[in-house]
Structure 1
Amino acid sequence: MRFLVLYMLVLLHSISLNAQENAGDLKYAKSLQVNTTYVFSRSPVGYGKVQEFKINKRRSPVIFKIERNTIWLKLGIPYDGILSFEIKPKQLSDDYDWMLYRYNQDLASAIARNNILPVRSNISRNDLQIKSRTGLAEGYINSYANAGPGKSFSKPLDVKAGDSLAIIIDNIYDGGAGFSFVSKLKPSYPLVARVTGKVFNSEKQDSLPAARIVCEDDLTGVALSETYANQNGEYSLAVPLGRAINVTAQHPGFIFKTEDISLSRNLDTLDFYLEPPADGKKLLLFNIHFSPDKDLIMMNATPDLVRLANFLKEHGGFDARIIGHTNNNPFAENSYLQQLSFKRALAIKKNLVNMGISEKRLSCIGVGGKNPIIVSKNPLENLKNLRVEVLLEGK
C-alpha cells in the first residue's frame, strides 16, 4: 500500500549564531534542534584547534580533500523520521561542502584513524543556478557527491528517536559571508485514516468554502497533512491512527480553532464553527506548551504561535492581552503559580515581537490556577487548564 505523507515545516523564528572558531573541532560542535532555522552571521574561519582532515591521498573521494574553514554541528533526533536539510550561503561565490556522520564517543578517533565513512556527504562544486545551496533533499538518490561538477544535494536520511548526528561544513574559500542552516524531520508514520467534516461561520451558521484544515502531530508540532474545504465547506483530511494529533481550521477574517484528537478507527467526523474577531473575543490556545515549571516554550507550540502572529498581522485593528494560566496545583503557592503564568505570557509576547508584532499591541497578565475551565479528577482532562488565552481589544 502506498502512503502519501504531506509535510509542511512551520518554524518559530530564525536563531542567529556566530560561527565561532573553536566549533571547527568536533569536540566543540554546536548543538542544534531539528525543524529550526539557524543563521550564521559569518563564514567559519580556519579549522579550529585540530585539523581533523589533513591531505591524505588514500582517503575516500567522498571525504574532504583537506579541511579549510569548518564548523561542526550536532543534531539530536527527537522522533523517528526522514531527515533533510539545506545550507543557504549568503553570497553565491561561497562553496560550502559538508559531511554527515552518526555521532558516538569514538567518532573523533575513528576520523583520525581514517577508518570511517560519512553516511552522507556532498563536496560537489557550488551551482550558481540554485544560489549555491546544498544539503539533503527529496528527489535525490545519491548518498554522496564527489568533488567537481555534480549534484548539489544528496538523498535524505532515515533516522530514529535518540540518534545523534554530527555535520561538518566547510567553506573552501576564505572571507565567506555566512550561511543559514535549516533541517526538516518528516515523521515516518503513515496517514491511513481520515477526518471529515464541515467548516461553518458560527454567527451566520453558513458554510465557509476554502477554509484551510491542517493536521499536526501533538508531540512534535510537525504538520502532517492539509486540505481545503470545498464550495460547501466540506473537507476530508488524511491523518494517522492511534496518535495524538491537532486538527486546525482557519479562514481569513475568522479566529482559527484547534481540536485535539486521536483516531482509533479509519474514519471520524469533526465540524468546526469559526468566529469572526471582535472586541472582547478570546483565542484559546491549548497547544502552546512549556517545559514543566519553566517559561521555556516547547517545540510543539510552534504552529499555534505562528498562527497567532499571522492572525494579529491580518487583524491590525486589535491589540492582544496575553493571559497565562497554570493548573491549580495544591502543592504550589498561589503566588508562585501567578508568577510562573506571567513569565509564560511574557515568553509568548517576546516570540510574537520576534515575529514582527509591535510590542505596543501586546500586554501580559498571569492568573495562575485561579480560572480553571475544567474541574476533574482526571489529570489528562485537567491539562486543558494549562493554556494561553489571547483577549482581543479593539483600538
Structure 2
Amino acid sequence: MKTVRFFLFNIILLLMECAYSIAQEKYIIKPENNDCSNPIELKDTIYGPTNAPDGYGKLNEFNAPQKDLYSFEKEHNTVWYKFTIKQNDILTFDIVPLSIKDDYDFLLYKYTNKNFCEAIKTGKIKPVRSNISRNEKQIKSKTGLSMDAKDELVHSGYGNPYSKFLDVKKGEVYYLVLDNVYANGKGHTLIIHLKENTTQIISKPIVKKVVPKETVKVVPKKDIGKAIIQTVLFDSISNERIKGDIDLLNITKQKFKTPEISKKDTTALNWKIIAGQKYLLTVVSKDYLPYCVQIATKKSDTLIVYNVNMQKVEAGLQYNAENILFYGNETKLLPISFVALNNLVSFLKENPSVKLQVQGHVNSPKKYTFNLTKKIFMRRLSKKRAKLVFAYLVKNGIDKKRLSYKGMGAKKMIYPHTHKLQEMQKNRRVEIHIISN
C-alpha cells in the first residue's frame, strides 16, 4: 500500500512540474525572436508575462544612421511581435514591464511585402506609431497606445509614455518591436485592446438625388446644425464600463459658466449639441483620476462618439492637468483653467483619502539655460503657479493637510525646443503627483 501511495505521490509531483514547465514556456521569448524575420505570432490579446528579451539577435536592424528621432538609434534587447487584424477596429495596447526599472521603447510597423524586414533595416519604411520616451516609474514604467494620447510618434527624452491609438482595417498585418534599454530585465506582458471603431467623428453621407421639385423634403430649421454627442466611460485596463459624473460645456465663445449638460453617476452621455462648436468634457469617478478634454466639432458632423478611458488612482501616479494653463511669464490663469480646477476639486471631494502634490512648470527658451537670473525667475514662477492652484483647492474646501506644492522650473518641459505657440502654452502647465490614495 505504501508503495502505491509513493508511486501516486511521484506521479502528482511529475504532473505539477509539467504544468509549471508548460506555464513557464507558454510566453517564452526565444533568441530568434530578437529579429524581424522571426517574430512571435500573436494568437491572443494577452501575451505574458514573458522572460526578458536578451540582445538584438543575429541581425541588428537599427544599426544604420537614422534621419529622425522616431526610431531606435541602436538595438539593445529586442523582441518582435506579429499580428493580423480580424476586423475594422481601433488598436490600443499596454506594454507592462515586470520591473519598473525596465525601460521599454517600441516601434509599430504596417507590413508591406516580402522585403519588409530589409526595408526597415535600410530605413525605407517608417513606423506608423512609436514611443521612445523615458520610462515613468509613477505609472510603473508602462507604455503603449492609448485613446487619450495626442502624438502618433514620441521622440526620445521626456514625453508622454503613450502614443495615439491607431485605426486598423481587416486583413492588415502589423509588426511590433520592443526594445528594453537595460540588460538583465525581468520581462513584460503585452496587452492588446481592440474595440469597435467608435471614437471617430461620424457624419451622415451626402447623397445627391434628383427628385421632382414638389417632393423635396425640407429639413425643419430647428434641426439644422444639430448633432448628437455620445460618451461612454471605460476602465482603461479592463475595458469594463464604469460610472461617473459627466459635464459638457460649450466653450466656443470662451465663456466658462455652468455646464449646459450634466449627468451624475452614469456610464454614458447621449445629448444634442450644436455642430461646429468647441466643447469641454469633464469626468469625475470615484477611485479614478479626473478627466478633462477639449472636443472640436465640425458643422457637417451629425454624430460624435467619444469614449473615455479612465485611469485608476494609484500612489506614485503623475498626470498632466492639461487644461490648467497660464499666461506667459505670469501666474495668471487662462479662463479655461477654472473648469479644470473645479474638476480637480470634485475629484478630491469624491476621493477624500487621496493626498497629492501640485507641481508647477514653465516654458523657458533654450537661450536662457545658462542665464542664472532667468533660471531663478523661472523656478520661482513655477512655484508660484503651483501655490496658486494649491490655494484655489484650499479655498474650495479641500483640507490643506492633503496637499503640497512644488516648483519644477524648466527641468521637465514637454516641448523643450519649440517655437510654436500652442506647444509653449503646454509647457506652462501644472502636473498632479498622487502621494497616497
TM-score grouping bracket, smaller chain normalisation: 0.3 to 0.5
- TM-score, length-normalised on structure 2? 0.42
Question: Higher relative contact order at CA 8 Å, sep ≥6: structure 1 or structure 2?
Answer: 1
Give the number of the structure whose residues are more often helix, by fraction: 2
Q: Could you tell me the TM-score, scaled by structure 1's length?
A: 0.46
